Structure 1
Amino acid sequence: MPRGARIHLVCIIEDALKRLGVDVVHLYGTDEFVPADLLFVHYDRSVVPPHIARFAKKYRRRINADARDIRKHTYADGLLTRHSTYDGRVIVKSTLNYGGQPEINSRSLLTRIRQKASRLAGLQDTPLIHSKQDYQIFERLSDVPAPYFSQHHVVQKLLPEWDGEKNVLREYIFFGDIHFENIERSSDLIITEDENVSCRPFVPHPRLLEMREKLHLDYGKLDYTMIDGEPFIFDANKTLGLGEFVDTNSASTEYISMLHAFALEIVRIVNDQEFRTYDISRLHGARTPIPVRRSRRQPSVQPAAKVQNG
């Protein structure tokens, strides 16, 4: 992420923290150690390299320091191989978050030239998947071209949840023991940003908490549908984008309230002498945040540092 760019939800959380008197220091890379009460690892890649994980251990309190691999092939429900037996519709995606765009942007110019030359020479005959708009839907598994069964893609059952004629997307958005469910609806099979239904505290299904534990996510989002009373999870994210809320005035009151609740959770753990990192296995249901009245005296905390890619 370019320095100073406001493209992630943590920007709104940071604004709320500053209003609460918390200093926030941005670290780009791991060359400099800044003493702080909390490290928020915000590295916009599906796989976090070992040197960042080692750097995070220098801090006593850490957020998302252990969330090192969220490639879809490691966790998503309904994954298929070319030899699977399945008769329904399927969808093909990149195994990387954001279609691997952050990884692509960080590749060397020579690597990008070579890959483009391969495509132009016909050596790569499958369409690139860089975003949701590039996802491929097939009526049956046998229709999926063989090159899509690769380490770069996932082939998955397409199991939408319907509300009348609308397709429903559920997003479990969380920070520690603060749980919100954001619900979107659309006439499209692949929902990007359409009709927002609600964004409210809720009690997450145990399966959602289990997935968080598997991925070691303290902060982030799980995309899912409810199929026969069970979550069908198809995406995870730990660097949530602002999307349509680049102008934060367009965000709903519910959404802004959620992000402010996350900021209050950060203040709580910064002032908790026993906190190291969340024990995700012990999270049970929603804890609705209680609004606090800001005192005249500023919170006695050192800067809260976060690591993010440069």
Structure 2
Amino acid sequence: MANAQAALGSKRPAGGAVRRNRFARDFGVNKYLYLMMVPVIAYYVVFHYAPMYGALIAFKNYTPIKGILGSDWVGLENFSDFFHSYYFWRILKNTILISVYTLLFEFPAPILLALLLNEIRSKAFRRAAQTVTYMPYFISLVVVCGIITDFTNSDGVINHLFTLFGYDGQAMLQKPGLFRPIYVLSEIWQHVGWESIIYVAALMNVDQEQYEAARMDGASRLKQMFYITLPGIMPTIAIMLILRMGNLMNVGFEKIILLYNPGTYDTADVISSFVYRKGLLEFGWSYSSAVGLFNSVINLALLITANAVSRRVNNSSLW
């Protein structure tokens, strides 16, 4: 009996062969889906994984003449210079504050908009509201920043309105204390409609029978929202929050650069804008690469932490 089992066991294919056979069968059935994946994989390989080779610059005294491999190795010197510099705490504080303010005020905004749109019974009014809120997202960022600058100038519309309540009339973007509120409010205005799309789609999957049962029990629309709608889209909210946490330190430098000025560096200068100035304007490639790599490591740690917390608390996670 033992010999027979040993003979049968010897005829079983190895684990690698089983996986290859399974993949071959699956590829034969879904070969067109696999072919559709090729451009996506190529995009990530070319534009996301291949550039990781350039991270070596952060550990070298890079000069274009010598190239990446030929440049002198300096180890953690660039990181040490950054950590001991005057700019470290300033840009770290600004990045964290702007990111946290944006997370607290801009992240819930599309959820609230989706909930409000879901309560509108008139389809025509709902489509009009969606169109109006989506439009700012498709406006060029340069145009958006130009609008913000014009409206907050000393002779701008918003500035004139604020002078009625005792404001001194000075250009708002010239005041360091007003930069963060202006940035966060403009982020809400620009992204609230577009980011609400995924929540509107999630609302379509909520079981309608639950609403019927709640109405039969006498639940108001507000209670239906809190006890049916919100729990129904909570997995989507959790996933979006995890993704947002993974980009918490990635404050876009384009908008910052278009809005800030040397007078507001104390509250507006963030890691990405600092990397832009040091790397492209002052040609400090190695130093700026070290700063950018530090920022990426922080984002990775935040992503892993947020995913672990969400998996334990909400049973929803990316992996």
TM range (shorter): under 0.3
Larger-Rg structure: 2
Higher helix share: 2
Higher strand share: 1
* TM-score, structure 1 as length reference: 0.25
